[in-house]
Amino acid sequence: MTWFRRGAITPLSAEPDCHEVARVLQAFLDGELGPDNAEKVAAHLAHCEPCDIESNTVDAVRDAIRAQRPDIDVDELGRLESFVNDIDRHAT
């Protein structure tokens, strides 16, 4: 199995411009950028108002989508936890 390591995206330049930041903004918000790139994007957003506004908008759209996440029934989850706690018996 191959792994897409977080941060596998090409390293950004030392002080990325708006174009570079736009290219990786989604991965940044999803936590898929490595720490070095993420730090550079965060630093850019801290002083670039248009990119910061864009970041907030993308984030708001993502949050609106994620609010659609269906709830998981706690009883169902509880039954599965009991199943795991008794896995030795189920697996033999």
Q: How far is the CB of 70 from other proteins (least distance, A)?
A: 5
- The minimum distance between CB 64 and other proteins, in angstroms, equals 5
| Residue whose tokens read 């330049």 | 13
- Beta carbon nearer to other proteins, 14 or 84: 84
Which residues of the chain form contacts with other proteins (CB under 8 A)?
1, 3-4, 6, 8, 26-27, 30, 32, 57-58, 60-62, 64-73, 76-77, 79-81, 83-85, 87-88, 90-91
Residue at 70: amino acid letter: P
Polymer length in residues for the chain = 92
Does residue 45 contact residue 15 with C-beta atoms inside 8 Å?
Answer: no
Question: Closest CB to other proteins among 20 and 32?
Answer: 32
CA dihedral 74, 75, 80, 81 (to 10 degrees): 70
Least CB distance to other proteins at residue 13 (A)? 20
Q: Residue 4 or 15: which CB sits closer to other proteins?
A: 4
Mutual orientation of helices 35-47 and 49-66 as an angle, nearest 10°? 120
